[in-house]
Every structure is written in C-alpha cells, then in structure tokens.
Amino acid sequence: MKDTEVFSQEDLNDIFKVSQKYPDRVISRESSSLEFKISFGWNSLAKYLKTCVAYANAKGGYIVFGIANRPHRLVGLSGSGLKAFEDIDPSQMTQHFNDHFSPEIAWDRQEHEIEGKTYGLLYVFESANKPVICTKDAGKELKEGDIYYRYRGRTERIKYPELRSILEEKRENEQRLWMQHLSQIAKIGVRDAGIFDLQTGQVTGTSGSFLIDESLLSQLSFIKEGEFSEVKGKPALKLIGNVEVITGTPSVAGKKQIMKTKGIRIGDIVLAFLDLKKVTDPKEYMKQICFESTAFLPVYVFMHLGGFDREKAIEMIESVVSRSPAKNKLIERLRTKSSQKLAFPDNQNPTSKNKRKYVQQLKKKKISTELKGKDLEHCLQAMRTLKPLEVKGHSKYIRELLKKWFNKYYASAPGSLADNLRRTICWIDETLYMDNPQ
C-alpha cells in the first residue's frame, strides 16, 4: 500500500463525516482502526506508541489529533499542541518506535484542515512481520515482552486466539517463501546462486559480494526469463566497472515529509462559487462532489477555472473511487447537460402569483433577505425562471442573496428548502458557466 492511499479523500471523508444534527461533531466512532485524541503532546507518547503497535499487529489504523472524545467534537489542534505535531522529527519518531518495539513499524502522518481548523493524523501500517513485540518499558503503558493488539475501540494485550492466528500465518508465509527460494536455487544451482538484499542493494554469494548503488535501485527492472523488451517497463541495467569491498550495511533511512490537505465540504464548494473565488485546486472541488450526499452542487465554475471541457471533466470524475451515488448522478448531469431551469409560472393560483411577484422584485433588486419557509422556497423557484441574460445582469445581487440564505438556513434546513437552495445555486452556475444554457 502506498502512503498516499491511506490519506485518500474517501478515507478522510469517512473519518471527518459531520453530524447533520450537531455540525461541530463527527459521527465516526473509535474502532479497531480509528482512535481520537483531543490534542497532541509528548507527555502522552507512551499511550500513542501503545496504540501504534496495536495497529501494526492488527490491520493498521489512524490516530486523529484534534477530535474530542464523547462527544466527538471537532476541536482542532492549536497552540503548543499544533506546534508539537508540526515539529515532529520523523527520524526521532522512528527512533522511538525502534527503541520500544521489534521488528520495525511503518508509519506516516498528515495534516488536514477543515473550516479553518487543523487536525493531525498518524497512520500505522499493518506489519508484514508480526508479531511486533515491546522491547522496553515505558511508564505504566508499555511492558517489555508484551504484545499489544487493537480490538474494537480499545488497545489491549493480545489474547490467545489473535496470537495463534498471527503465529500460524507467519509460519505459513515462511514455508511458502522457503519453498519458492529453494525452487529458484535448484534451477540456478547452489554454487551460482546469490542473495540480493532489496533493502540495502547488497548482493552476496559463494564468490564474494558487491553493492548496487542506492540511487539505481528504483531503476531496476526484472525481466522474465527468455524475454527481452525495449519498451515494456523500466530499462534493465548492466552493471560495469570495478566491484569494491564494503564493510557494514549502508543506511537506507529516508526523511518523511509531512503532507497537508484541505478538507472540502458542501459549504466550501457552494461558497467558493457564490464568492467566485479563484481556487488553486478546482479539480479537488469537482472530485469532492462525488463523495457528498448530493450531486446538485455547482460544478461548471470549477470546470471553467480548471480548464476542463465536458469530456475531460467526465473522464476525470469517472476515475474517482467513491461509493456515493452522487458520482454517477454528477456524470449524468454533465453528459446530458441537464438544467435546473423552471418554466415561468403563468397560471392564476396563489403559488404562481407569489412566484411572479418575486420575479419582479428580483429584477428590481428588492427581495427581502428575511424570507423563510415556503416564501423562501417560492423565491428560489422564481430565480430558476429567470432568463440567462437576466441572471447575468443581476449575478452579483443574486449570489449575495443566495450566500446570506445558505449561511443562515442550510445547516438546519428541512429537505425541501435545502434541495431548492442547491438547485437554484446550480442554475446560477449553469447560466454563468455552462455552454449555451437553455
């Protein structure tokens, strides 16, 4: 697994899924792969280490710093806690792991920003060489010789069933690898076989040893016996020159750079359009729609900012991995050029008369910002009857109205009002940025 995969947009959306009832809380729960901490501090290092080794012995997992426990409020890191997380020295953190556990633990970290608040994430990968054992005491948390395991929402000393499963899996893997190696050695011949250490680049055999420079390791390509291709894969390398005697094992430790991402939510997508912000990553706004509960969000403005025509936008969206139905609905919107425009109300019932009244007030810029309930819904529907030229001529005024209503009502709006807000915003987006709106 690549490091970036564990911080994919879909994973981050799952972790930071906000409650509709309490917008300052996430609905995620601590589990066998997720734990929340309200802050980060080195005084609690032993607790972090214990959770990390438990993840390594299970299936991997996240510690998220900046989320309170019970309820899971979105607090964010600030002050000394934020600075401490940002200042984590990767080599020092790795040394802490190596000092307390064996074999080594693979990990990564990330900063994630949502609505101006920063959260720290620490991810530990499932170990390929279980069990990882504690080799050094650390306060009351870690005891030498213990094996820790992550159960549902808690970290404990491993129980017999899980330990037995790990040991059986380890034995089966080793048997399989030995059989593979012995089979290869038998084909090559014992005297002609050598051992290539993929970590160090060192090759040893009965006739001596040599070292492949670290900078060349990523360029090596293994070619199937009897096959040669000048275009398939990376080029094969022929090693020439003098073979020098070496002592010791070269270091391959690399520095981990902290990555920072910005969380994008419905509010960010809508307000970026209503304010006509020149966002630096319009593609990410388009992608995020695929993870939301609705596809009726502005998209054409981000296509315009990112230089996407319709076909390129559809191709990009199709590549997004998302379980939400919004992805397919968004593709359908783009492919069919579906529009949120409504027909002008021309009958004489009270609702139609109300909408016609709002159309006239919109043209004169005399709409009350205090509208609510059904009156607001009728006004929003009236906006969707405006002609493209009328929208463009009153664009700033309409966007300001929509921004006030969105900020005031959307978070707690009933389904009908929320849907009307989104569809009206989509119609303004279509009018301003979609090709030839009908």
Q: Is 280 exposed, middle or buried (0-12, 13-18, 19+ CB in 10 A)?
A: exposed
CB atoms within 10 A of CB 27: 13
Write down the number of H helices and E strands in the chain. Answer: 16, 12
Q: Output the DSSP codes for 90-113.
A: HHHHHHHHHHHEES---EEEEEEE
- Tell me the CB-side half-sphere exposure of residue 218, using CA atoms within 13 A: 2
pLDDT digits (tens, 9 = 90+) for 151-207: 998 999 999 999 999 999 989 888 888 888 788 878 877 777 777 776 666 777 776
pLDDT score for 255: 42
Q: Say whether pLDDT at 8 is over 90.
A: no
Name 154's Cβ contacts closer than 8 Å, sequence gap at least 6: none
Instruction: For residue 157, list its beta bridge partners.
Output: 148
CB atoms within 10 A of CB 104: 13
Q: Say whether pLDDT at 245 is over 80.
A: no
pLDDT score for 208: 65
Q: Say whether pLDDT at 238 is over 70.
A: no
pTM score above 0.75: no
Mean pLDDT of the chain: 86
Place of tokens 């593979």: 180
Q: Say whether pLDDT at 358 is over 50.
A: yes
Q: Is 3-157 a domain of CATH 3.40.50.720?
A: no
CB atoms within 10 A of CB 139: 10
pLDDT score for 57: 97
